[in-house]
Structure 1
């Protein structure tokens, strides 16, 4: 393993999540390696996509057919937007020397018995151990970002884990472990982006990393944002602070019906995305709701309840024990109604945000990919096999 410099390394982390609401950029200074890892956030900002580009990304995520030349055009446009975000976040600061860019996920297929999807081509007979491999695609190519910014750029973080048979997700739990663990307290770090994911961190002791677990819990903001867009004919794209949903009443029989969805009962490791909890799923939810004659506010309250109950159900079903505290991050941490519902369902377990633990809830994911790029440069693995299902640790990211 390469030793870290005693002087801070300035790194930019970039990510646009499944909500596609913009590029989160974090400029950080990092010292240490893992157990002595220290990160200082110097600047954080979200840069919205141009409206037309966001709409095109969302249509691709929804499975709309696209030509290869247009896919290349979108790939380039996303890389340009990420490069501009990297330049803007440095204004007024000493320049960074490294970028960690997650890119924009437009397709994610978890490992399954269908695996490579190569049908009857016979290739599976040549490499039978590839039967269950997943696939993931993040646009915004790192080589172009590196060229435009003149900085070393690490990107395509998920593919190495997936090539080993892992899910390539969630990737942030290893970073959470070294930045948010506690010597006596078991914690859940719950990210609520378009999709929710959890990292369970046991008390910090010998072999604690092997006792960690994590998975995608299901929908986060994805269904809520899609519903708001649908209910307002595109005039709004999200429910600020959950204020609209808070005026409604959840339909609990509907929530219980939706919780029977197979994904919620699959044991970890597991991952998901808009391929499951997207437009088609929302339309099915709206169809299911018709007999109940719900108001728009009731629909949002019911979808919020699904997000909250799916998170708590996954804790109760799959965790080795319930945590002492839950720390929220991501855009959903600002949804006060969702936070209130989680607190009610979790009872005496405090529901906080990672701000309360000293790590920005808004930019934690961007910070994490800055750390993963830093680790890649040092030769430190970035995945946790207990979380992703990969058979071993591996270096994450391609360097340009």
Structure 2
């Protein structure tokens, strides 16, 4: 089956769209990336999304218009890619997260915009979306959701591995060796904390919006990190919560970065020192979570997401995670730039088959269940059509 996966992450830097060929059933699948690209949001739409993530208010009428606008932007991303690949059988759309609240004594809540029904209509392709709500209803965090893909495609017979995503928020999947008894029951995962979000916010502030990221971490690499500041930041309760746990821009927000900047004032950091400190904080938050929660150290750590292109961040991760080998998922058959888009294509494929999409040990759900809501295409005679 040919499936498109779509996601715009917490960095809101564009819509990642990937077209993949998938064969097989359940975990015994093969996945081939045909094409992938990142399609930028219209500037005004991106600004509105970022404002809302930062706490701006809007009316219900404005909310409805925004939901439709995001769906239209996702449909345009599909059209751009299918102009290269030809038509597809199914779409899996994560949508755009506006709000994520992990469970705290009750069911959690997570809101993704970009209506699946609208996307199915505009593309004339069956669409699966709203992946997080079923896991939340089963008592889970609704995140991270990439772990079952990691389990299917990136586990190893004899070595323990960590698959570390570095999107706006960082998340990890721990994969024990497949030869270990009951190995699938010992898969773990959680959100590790900031990925690119604080760095990208800082770059935008330092350049007055002229840059949205630091290519390769070149600017940060010129500075010296302030370790006392990082030790202080790592005292935040999130870093000491045991998994399963998830987070987002609700915590690691512009307000959070502003507080970090206030904390930094007595140290008189240069811009390069400020970026080096945020980079080291990101790397140490990952290493700290591994030391705190892994049953054994990984032999290999595979990086994915936009942060895997930040050379300086990768170097700091390799330093703190030694003696583990640090590489990217590209070395093992999964393009790190489109891994999450690929994941939602596969989650849609599993939902179409009726197979589970979550890993309860990762999300905290009571059971493994199919994820996502299916939106069929309504034919000209008013009936539903299937792929």
Q: Does the TM-score normalized on the shorter chain lie above 0.5?
A: yes
1:338-385, Cα deviation, whole Å (9 max, x unpaired)? 000001111221110000111100101000000000000101010011
Secondary structure (helix, strand or coil) at the match of 2:26 reads: coil
Q: CA RMSD in A?
A: 0.8
Distance 2:17 2:307 in 1: 17
User: Which residue is 1:146 aligned to?
Assistant: 120
Which of the residues 253, 274, 286 maps onto 1:299? 274
1:155-199, Cα deviation, whole Å (9 max, x unpaired)? 000000001111000011011100111111111000000000000
Task: Report the number of matched residues.
Answer: 374
Which of the residues 297, 313, 318 maps onto 1:338? 313
Which of the residues 49, 56, 59 maps onto 2:41? 49
User: Per-residue deviation at 1:69?
Assistant: 1.1
User: Which residue is 1:3 aligned to?
Assistant: none
Distance 1:298 1:311 in 2: 20
User: Which residue is 1:370 aligned to?
Assistant: 345
For structure 1, the 5+ residue unaligned runs are: 1-8, 114-131
User: Per-residue deviation at 1:93?
Assistant: 2.2
User: Which residue is 1:214 aligned to?
Assistant: 189
Which of the residues 359, 373, 378 maps onto 1:398? 373
Which of the residues 184, 198, 206 maps onto 1:223? 198
User: Per-residue deviation at 1:147?
Assistant: 0.2
User: Per-residue deviation at 1:319?
Assistant: 0.5
User: Which residue is 1:263 aligned to?
Assistant: 238
Distance 1:328 1:92 in 2: 28
User: Per-residue deviation at 1:92?
Assistant: 2.9
Distance 2:347 2:183 in 1: 20
After TM superposition, the score normalised by the length of structure 1 is: 0.92
User: Which residue is 2:85 aligned to?
Assistant: 93
Distance 2:89 2:100 in 1: 30
User: Per-residue deviation at 1:42?
Assistant: 0.2
Distance 2:142 2:163 in 1: 18
User: Which residue is 1:290 aligned to?
Assistant: 265
Distance 1:193 1:305 in 2: 16
Matches within 5 A, 1:175-214: 175-205=149-179, 206-214=181-189
User: Which residue is 1:172 aligned to?
Assistant: 146
Distance 1:392 1:287 in 2: 43
User: Per-residue deviation at 1:395?
Assistant: 1.1
Pick which of 253-262 and 89-98 moved more. 89-98
Distance 1:90 1:168 in 2: 30
User: Which residue is 1:25 aligned to?
Assistant: 17
User: Per-residue deviation at 1:36?
Assistant: 2.2
User: Which residue is 1:126 aligned to?
Assistant: none
Distance 1:24 1:18 in 2: 12
After TM superposition, the score normalised by the length of structure 2 is: 0.96
Distance 1:105 1:294 in 2: 33
User: Which residue is 1:326 aligned to?
Assistant: 301
User: Per-residue deviation at 1:24?
Assistant: 0.4
1:69-120, Cα deviation, whole Å (9 max, x unpaired)? 111111111100101111111123231110000000010000013xxxxxxx
Distance 2:84 2:117 in 1: 25
Distance 1:387 1:372 in 2: 16
Distance 2:185 2:53 in 1: 34
Distance 2:339 2:277 in 1: 28
Which of the residues 286, 291, 296 maps onto 1:316? 291
Distance 1:92 1:162 in 2: 36
Distance 2:120 2:84 in 1: 21
User: Which residue is 1:353 aligned to?
Assistant: 328
Secondary structure (helix, strand or coil) at the match of 1:32 reads: strand
Distance 1:225 1:68 in 2: 30
For structure 2, the 5+ residue unaligned runs are: 376-387
Q: Are 1:67 and 2:59 an aligned pair?
A: yes
User: Per-residue deviation at 1:34?
Assistant: 2.9
